[in-house]
Structure formats: C-alpha cells, structure tokens
Amino acid sequence: MLLLIVLVMLFGRLGVLHKFETITLDAEARLNTPPANSSVAIVNIVDDDYDNLFGSTSPLHPDKLRELIDAIAKGQPKVIGVDIDTSDTQFRDGLRVPPSWPPVVWERVVKDLPESTDEKPEPLSVLGGSDPARDRDSGLALLIQDSEDKVVRRYQRLIDTAEGPLPSFAWSIMQKFAPDKTAALDERAAPLLIKFSGDREGSHRLEFTAAKLLDLAPSWEKAPASSPLYKKIVLLGGSYRGQDRHDTPLGKMIGVRVIANVIETELDGGGYGPPGKVTVALLEIFDGFVLLLLFHFLTTARATAISMVIIPLLALVCSFISFGSFSRWAYFAPVLLGVLLFELYNHYRHHAIPHLYEEISGAGGHEK
C-alpha cells in the first residue's frame, strides 16, 4: 500500500498522470462529433485578400475593413465578432459603426503579454480609443497554452487584467448571441476544457475568404433571409502571412477557428474543468487499494479474473467523478493495469519461483 502511494505521488510529480490526461483529452477531441449545423461561420482574410484588398499593409486599412464588415452585415447575422486588432490610432476616425449593423464584438488586445501568472495584462482600447463605450462591446482573445507542451486545450470566460476582470472574446460574443444560455453558466468558472470537434480546418462550419464574401454580399441585400450567415455568429479573422496560429489537439489551427470551437463548446452547454491533482491521486490510490484487497483475500486466479472486469468499471467511475464524463476512462486505466501487473509479478516471485525451485530440487534428489 505504501509502495502504491509512493508510485502515484511520483507519477504525479514527474507529470506522468498529466501526460495520460493530455493523451486522453487529445484522443477524445479527434473522436468528438461536430455539430450538424454549426451556429458559427467564419470570414477568413487569407494571403490573397491581404495583398489585393488591403494592399499588404498592417494594421489593416480601416476603410477596407469597414467595407468587409458592411458586406457581412448584409447577410444579417445575429452577431459579428471581429477578431482583428483595431487598437491603432488610425481606427479612431477611419472606422465608424453605423446603426444598421447587427451587434459587433471587437477583439481587445493587450499591451504586452504577461511573462508570469503574477502579472496582469493591460488591455488596449478598441477602434483606436475613439469611443470608450465600445470597449464594453469587446472581449480579450487570449488563449491558454498548456505549460507542458504549449497546446491550447482550455479557455476562460473572465480574464483578470489591470482593469479588473474582463470578458473573453468568445464569452462576450455568447452574451450577445444567447443571453439566456450565458445567464445559466458560471462566468467566473476556473479554466474550462474546449470540446474540440471536427477537423482543424473546421469543415463542418461555413467559411469564406474575404474576396468570396464581397462577391456574394450584393445578392443578400434584397433577401437577407436567404443568406447562409442569417442569424448566425460570424467571426472575422485573418490567417494571412502565417499569423495567429496555435497548437491544438487537432493540430495547428488559426486563432479564429479556435475561438469558433470555444463558442461551439459554450453553445453545447460549456466545457468542464480538469480535476485537481489531489483528487486524481486519491482516486488512483483508492483504485489500487481495491485491487490489492482482491489479491489479499482471493486466490490469484480469481483475483486476476475479477480484476479484468473491475478495472474498466473503476476507470469509468473515476472518469465520471473527476471529469463529469465516462469518456476519460483511459486516464485512470494505466495505473490500475500497473497495480495488476505488480500483483502478478509478486505472485510469480513469491509462489511460482519457489514452487519451481522445489520441483527442480525434488527431481534432482530423486535421481540421486
């Protein structure tokens, strides 16, 4: 029992249990079924758009950006999320928001990314600070990278900043799109796991390049209900010049597609928090103790047979207790299998080897 406790603690300190967790999470992300009809559509500014529409200049030209958002508005989406930095002073007078547009949520960037968790990011105003009220219609598009492998698996609804807690970009969009749904969720929840689904290209949702969107928009003006963007969330972002790319369980993904996965997670009821290390360690010890008792009170053959049945059940129960889902059984199974192999090795060392030695010794004595 002491050896079991030491092994679980050692695995936890060396990151072995965390590795099991990430392997399981990533495997589940590849198996998740995407929504049949996603409420999220994407307009992606690709390299050709950047060169031909925006003249290869950065920050993006305000007039051209306004023209693109206006084209999206013609399709009458319910919310437009602009995942583009508009903090530069050129946006102060160059991008006015007409009342005919649906609600627009602007990405709010930070002055410098904090170097440690003790530092709080300092957010910059949107639209060049032209209207402080617009900051209320914004959100921080900061993504959480796993400290072990720099993979994005989690998100937050509220983010602590130098100005106090501010909504994330996805959460601010959700509050505009589905206020009834967000009212039932805890906005101060600890970082939650993103339910990635589909593929890294997001082939289950609509996606247009900026040029394609501008070509289609005139046909929607007279009949917006026929638009594929009608009553949806439209995210406007950019993948030009290889910017804004993140490692995810599905592979490299541009930021606007990660945000789309977060929003789809929220629409599906929200993500869930990973269990604490102490909780996982105690469950691992409990599971191991159950197996130890089996081998203590039963014969090795019977204990082994029962273990093969009980290990999957224990793993499923622990998965549900820790994650609220049965899908992460594989996270607990390796330690349980390790305990089983340890017990079988003990049996072999304490019973099989002495018995074999006695047989060999008996055979040798008979020959004499």
Measure CA of the first residue to CA of the last residue in the chain; give whole Å.
45
- Residue range of the domain that includes 349: 2-19+275-367
Give the integer Cα–Cα distance in Å for 65 and 253. Answer: 23
Q: Structure pTM?
A: 0.78
- Let me know if residue 28 belongs to a domain: no
Nearest to 194 by CA among 249, 252, 235, 113: 249
Domain end: 235, 267, 299, which one? 267
Domain end: 232, 267, 302, which one? 267
User: Tens-digit pLDDT profile for the chain (368 aa)?
Assistant: 666 666 665 665 555 566 666 777 777 788 888 998 999 999 999 999 999 999 999 999 999 999 999 999 999 999 999 999 999 999 988 788 898 999 999 999 998 876 666 788 999 999 998 888 889 999 999 988 887 788 999 999 999 999 999 999 999 999 999 999 999 899 988 889 899 998 999 999 999 999 999 999 999 988 989 999 999 999 999 999 988 899 999 999 999 999 999 999 999 988 877 666 666 667 767 777 787 788 778 888 888 888 888 888 888 888 787 777 776 676 677 777 777 777 777 766 666 566 666 667 665 555 44
Q: How many domains does the chain have?
A: 2
Beta bridge partners of 12: none
- Let me know if residue 361 belongs to a domain: yes
